[in-house]
């Protein structure tokens, strides 16, 4: 039945479809924005975690080097 797409009814149906599409696009944009924000936050959290681990490893490495130096000094003084 083509009467749905004729005259005033056609214009009303086109307006309904346009409004539905606009609402769906807004919902889609909000969802995409939320997903993007979520991924961005997770990536930032992972970078922070990587920085923390890197700092921790640097501290441990420095402490290890310091302890090796201390042990070397003690050996040298005990050998004398």
- Residues 3, 9: contact at Cβ < 8 Å? yes
Answer with the residue of higher pLDDT: 78 or 55. 55
Q: Which pLDDT does position 40 carry in this prediction?
A: 98
The per-residue DSSP string of the chain comes to -GGGGSHHHHHHHHHHHHHHHHHHHHHHHHHHHHHHHHHHHHHHHHHHHHHHHHHHHHHHHHHHHHHHHHHHHHHHHHH-
Q: pLDDT tier at 79 (50, 70, 90 boundaries)?
A: confident
CB 13 within 8 A of CB 5: yes
Direct distance between the N- and C-terminal alpha carbons of the chain, in angstroms, rounded to an integer? 109
Percent of the chain with pLDDT over 70: 94
Q: Which residue has the higher pLDDT, 9 or 59?
A: 59
């Amino acid at each position: 039945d083509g009467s749905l797409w004729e005259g005033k009814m056609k214009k009303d149906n086109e307006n309904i479809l346009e409004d539905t599409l606009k609402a769906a696009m807004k919902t889609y944009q909000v969802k995409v924005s939320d997903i993007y924000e979520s991924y961005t936050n997770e990536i930032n959290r992972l970078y922070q975690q990587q920085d923390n681990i890197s700092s921790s490893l640097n501290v441990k490495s420095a402490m290890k080097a310091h302890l090796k130096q201390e042990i070397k000094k003690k050996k040298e003084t005990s050998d004398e």
